[in-house]
Chains A and B, each alone.
Chain A
């Protein structure tokens, strides 16, 4: 049997959260949702798993990689378009040769897969739907006959008697050919009616294990609590509902029902009521009240005298002094009410906010840029004096300014046409006021000596030493596609990969591709090498050679 996990995130469950964090990575007791599924499957002996990705695929793949950590092999199928759940399976058709278990990851379900497979083989149907008794909001109700054959699905409100479909199914590969290619297609609304009307049989397998559809934030908070109660031996009896089958939980149990991650400091005066779980590198301040039913993520700060109950706080969140959080899910500045599903973005960083590493990194980088550029400026001063003299005598002026654009879009700024920060890029003047270019000006441009004045823009903070190519306002306006817009994530640079791999005649797309690659792959070591090798690159450019250096 083959297994396909649907991690496409198309359903947009828990939308406000899953827009920023892909649903398969949403933490349940500080572990990504999808890891629960992978562990369950690995435990039952399934070593090869296919994963369909669509929304924020890079994050998911970066976390799970090829599954070595679980002793299994994961392979990914990337979708470019939203295809629905059936469409996603059709998209993977060429990799499916056997009976296939299709399992969405945006829910929690304890499933005995060998028993399900035996049931499917026994019945001999084209599909088997995994169903569960009881009311589960948002799940379709299955109508059955005596022999467990599915007659149809309906969206009516489930009651205690009804059987609901969990989203998991087993399907025979030939059924997949009924799904049109590259079309948005749904199992419940599209494929199952077609299969039934073609006279094929669909069976319902009743799973009696734990099921949480994660259809609402209430479900999400309940899932956190369920996992805590499973791990908390003393507490398992205190909650009157079925609990998932989970083998381990993150962090050290510091006291009964209290888990604390590595490098986390809890002030002695804090009062903790189990169950409480605190992630890694977090800090709980003086006189804080935590719990019951609280999960704090990694890099969370709960400041003095704050209190948190029945809530989940995600990674990198700051909770300010005296703030009271009860029945909420908090992700940085975003607060979600578990009961009403309402959400609110807090703009006051003293109450709630995000903790960002980038602030530290970017100020360090700025410090380097400033001092190094100043150093180069002093070093190049004699040359610059000569060049400015040449500019003054040949063109009648010393500097010329080209308007460039950088940074993110600023919506509330009607005056600026590009909507981005506009800054003048300083260069030595090579043209006369009538636009003509003297011979000596052409020489300055060929030797790129006119660009030395840009060092001043680095000192003043408009440019960085290494970065993507500075774009003029007109060029910046041509950038519309997502991959191109990454260009504005970074401060443009005096030098960069573009300086090595493009030349003055390169078209804009070529520059943008090089910069997109640079932005994706760069780190401070590569930046240092780019800067260090710039004089050599300059020599190659001046001599008209192609720069061939193995930096990236």
Chain B
């Protein structure tokens, strides 16, 4: 699992690569904790290079979203591959997260959210 982080227009972006599961979730949890420390915490997680997710990964993202919202921010997801999207659908978490096709769309939407 590789983590690539960058920042665009005040939005923190985390791009992941590989399989996101029990064994690899810890550094991501730490990154999300750090990113949501100060308000407003706007985070986009790019999953376009993630080919597998398990329950630990899902709960890491849910915790991240809760923390972001506590700090008046949002956590959006983008670029889900089919197997990963299927997991979101099966667990019905696709209705909980805002999920975008591209990183571009997600960053734009989160900026739109910030100006409201």
Contact = CB atoms under 8 A, between A and B. Distances in A.
A509 B89 contact: no
Given A77-B101, A78-B99, A548-B22, A482 B59 contact: no
A77 B101 CA distance: 8
A517 B54 contact: yes
B82 interface: yes
Nearest to B95: A482
Q: Name the interface size band of chain B.
A: 20 to 34
B67 to A, nearest CB: 11
Nearest to B26: A546
Contacts of A510: 59, 62-63
Contacts of B87: 517, 520-521
A94 B104 CA distance: 9
B22 A517 contact: no
A91 B100 CA distance: 9
B91 to A, nearest CB: 4
Interface string B51-88: 00011101100110010000000000000001001110
B114 interface: no
Nearest to A65: B82
B99 A80 contact: yes
Contacts of A482: 92, 95
Interface in A485-530: 486, 497, 501, 509-510, 513-514, 516-521
A516 B56 CA distance: 11
A81 to B, nearest CB: 10
A-side binding surface: helix, strand, loop or mixed?
Answer: helix
Max count, chain B CB within 10 A of own CB: residue among A181, A483, A519: A483
Interface in A415-431: none
B93 interface: yes
Given A509-B66, A552-B55, A516 B85 contact: no
Interface in A77-106: 77-78, 80, 91-92, 94-95
Interface in B11-31: 22-23
B98 interface: yes
B94 to A, nearest CB: 7
A203 B82 CA distance: 37
Contact of B92 (A92, A483, A518, A548): A483
Given A66-B82, A78-B99, A94 B105 contact: yes
Contact of B91 (A57, A61, A486, A509): A486
Nearest to A61: B86
A78 B54 contact: no
Contacts of B101: 77, 91-92, 94-95
A77 B90 CA distance: 16
A518 B55 CA distance: 8
Contacts of A514: 55-56, 59
A516 B63 contact: no
Nearest to A484: B92
A434 interface: no
B102 interface: yes
A183 B55 CA distance: 33
Max count, chain A CB within 10 A of own CB: residue among B55, B86, B98, B101: B55
A77 B94 CA distance: 12
Contacts of A80: 94-95, 98-99
B59 to A, nearest CB: 4
A357 interface: no
Contacts of A91: 101
Contacts of B92: 482-483, 486, 516
Given A77-B101, A80-B94, A497 B55 contact: yes
Contact of B54 (A94, A483, A486, A552): A552
6 contacts: A58-B89, A482-B92, A486-B92, A510-B62, A516-B92, A517-B54
Interface of A: 57-58, 61, 66, 76-78, 80, 91-92, 94-95, 181-182, 481-483, 486, 497, 501, 509-510, 513-514, 516-521, 548, 552
